[in-house]
Structure 1
Amino acid sequence: MGVYWAIGVRSFRRFSTYRIATASGAFTNTVFGFILCGIYLTLWHERPGLGGYDVSDALTFVWLQQGLLMPIGIFGATTTVELGERVRSGEIAVDLYRPTHLMLWWLSVDLGRAMFQLIVRGGAPLLVGAFVFDLKFPSGALTWLAIALGLVLGILVSFGLRYLVALSGFWITDSRGTEHLALVLSLFFSGTVLPLVVFPGWIGDFARATPWAATLQVPIDIWLGRNPGGVGAALLFQLGWIVVLLLIGQLATSFATLKVVIQGG
């Protein structure tokens, strides 16, 4: 495990060098946070208690969402972009020659990236929002522990999805079409466009059962204390999707490696 820890640390250091990009991204998220707050205030003024959220819940959702977009990788991240490109270019052969497991290598890279962005970029929009609006903050050590666990599990679910998208390039030659489709699904089903609690009927039930819901909506609901089945059920939901996605990822890795060998790679 030492090698994977070293990979994660190096990935953390790598992303820490992009200071201007990180500051610019945090500023952008903050601006969008104010824009969304204006929209949400109007929406909740017309429909008080929409989705079981009060105004404070809705505003807190906005700032948590903006802080977590990059750490969780809603718009894609290293795994999707770099790994997908390496599959397209054939550089993936170098990765397969390494005496490490392909999925664990990229998982370590992604965790290093996510931890840096969570620590440095994740909290900035939330702090700005807290100065302007009356946001909700949890109390109690156990709640904070559950939030931290929910965030890590959300990142792992996101990695599982993005890893499969990147590996699709082994079969369709170019994974960029899959990446665009995955982005649309992620934006809609994660809670980026609107909290999933406002989706009506069977659409809401379906959206909240998808793995994308486990990436953003579930961790935020843990923060707000709005999980219908309780925190334990929310964490088990995330854990279940992690197991499914990583098992599929392992199978896909095995088949992809076999395909490379068949092609003479």
Structure 2
Amino acid sequence: MLFPRLIRAGFLRYSSYRQAALAGLTTNVVFGLLRTAVLVAVLAERGTVAGYDVAAAVTYVWLGQGLLTVVLLWGDVELSRRIRSGDVVVDLGRPWDLQAARLAGDLGRAGFAVLTRLVPPAAFGALVFGFRWPAHLGTYALFALSVLAAVVVSFAVRFLLNLSAFWLLDARGVLAVWGVVGGLLAGLVMPLPWFPEWARTALWWTPFPALFQTPIDVFLEQASWPAVIHQVLWMVLLLAAGRVVLERGGRRLVVQGG
């Protein structure tokens, strides 16, 4: 029963920052308006681009703005700080699995973000501009599964990047590079279907599309089960890699501590 309790604790922890959530929501809406204006202007000149018309572009923008905090590409530096300070020794000594415990907390955080940072901007975009809604009810369930997979993939990547502090001591540089590159290659800045074909093919072999583009494509019914399976495969691979790196990092920590 520990895992569900940690999920609840993660939810309650982030729900205490209501003013921060409101400020972040306001920022999301403002940037959503700016991004909508840019994409609509592009499509006004071109008509459609890679299957995206105005309705699809609006849906892409507002789902992306909503998923930004749910998936959480950046801002997660707590573990690397605890490694640098040595406080991670306490975490490793507790009667739990550190990776599973942090994943549970992150799922609770994502659950709160769905209610406060995904639903409101998506509802705003749908009411003001109009969405391209799925034609099949099953798409909503598949979208929810895809979002869950995206959260876990993002956690697994952030967990690995934070673990680099075992070797680098300061992981801020690695996390900063990820913050810049991740948004672009995950489909947050612009839709990945707008990339050249060779780039789309190359990105399919990486976890980047699993973070943002896949959930949005599933909602737009431009992707289905194969894309979600792609997410799940990367989820399993990255979580497994995290366990291996954590074990080796823990050994290094013992060596450093004498």
State the TM-score, normalized to the length of structure 2: 0.97
The whole-number CA distance in structure 1 between the counterparts of 2:143 and 2:197 is 27
Residue in structure 2 matching 1:156, options 127, 152, 157: 152
Give 1:6's aligned residue.
Answer: 5
1:63 aligns with 2:62: yes
Size of the aligned set, in residue pairs, is 258
The whole-number CA distance in structure 2 between the counterparts of 1:194 and 1:208 is 16
The whole-number CA distance in structure 2 between the counterparts of 1:58 and 1:153 is 23
1:96 aligns with 2:92: yes
CA deviations over 1:101-152 (Å, ceiling 9, x no partner): 1101110111110111012221111111112112112244321110110000
What is the identity, as a one-letter code, of the residue corresponding to 1:258? R
The whole-number CA distance in structure 2 between the counterparts of 1:23 and 1:137 is 26
Deviation at 1:187, TM superposition (A): 1.1
What is the identity, as a one-letter code, of the residue corresponding to 1:69? L
1:233 aligns with 2:232: no
CA deviations over 1:34-57 (Å, ceiling 9, x no partner): 101110011112222212211110
1:174 aligns with 2:170: yes
Residue in structure 2 matching 1:243, options 236, 245, 250: 236
> Percent of aligned positions with the same letter in both sequences?
37
Deviation at 1:181, TM superposition (A): 1.1
The whole-number CA distance in structure 2 between the counterparts of 1:172 and 1:181 is 14
Deviation at 1:17, TM superposition (A): 0.8
Give 2:38's aligned residue.
Answer: 39
Describe how 1:172-251 pairs up with structure 2 within 5 A.
172-227=168-223, 231-251=224-244
- Unaligned stretches of 5+ residues in structure 1: none
The whole-number CA distance in structure 1 between the counterparts of 2:38 and 2:3 is 43
What is the Cα-based RMSD across aligned positions, in Å? 1.2
The whole-number CA distance in structure 2 between the counterparts of 1:117 and 1:107 is 15
CA deviations over 1:230-263 (Å, ceiling 9, x no partner): x110111001101110110010011011111112
Describe how 1:254-265 pairs up with structure 2 within 5 A.
254-264=247-257
Describe how 1:108-187 pairs up with structure 2 within 5 A.
108-187=104-183
Deviation at 1:201, TM superposition (A): 2.4
The whole-number CA distance in structure 2 between the counterparts of 1:208 and 1:52 is 18
SS at 1:50's partner residue?
coil
CA deviations over 1:196-229 (Å, ceiling 9, x no partner): 01001212222343212101100000000012xx
What is the identity, as a one-letter code, of the residue corresponding to 2:170? D
State the TM-score, normalized to the length of structure 1: 0.94
Deviation at 1:173, TM superposition (A): 1.1
The whole-number CA distance in structure 2 between the counterparts of 1:222 and 1:244 is 22
The whole-number CA distance in structure 2 between the counterparts of 1:24 and 1:72 is 18
The whole-number CA distance in structure 2 between the counterparts of 1:263 and 1:19 is 40
Cα pair 1:189 1:208 within 8 Å, conserved: no
Cα pair 1:158 1:212 within 8 Å, conserved: no
What is the identity, as a one-letter code, of the residue corresponding to 1:48? G
Describe how 1:15-30 pairs up with structure 2 within 5 A.
15-30=14-29
SS at 1:52's partner residue?
coil
**Measured at CA, do residues 252 and 209 of structure 1 come closer, stay the same or move farther in structure 2, by a change above 3 Å?**
same
The whole-number CA distance in structure 2 between the counterparts of 1:163 and 1:139 is 36
What is the identity, as a one-letter code, of the residue corresponding to 2:130? D
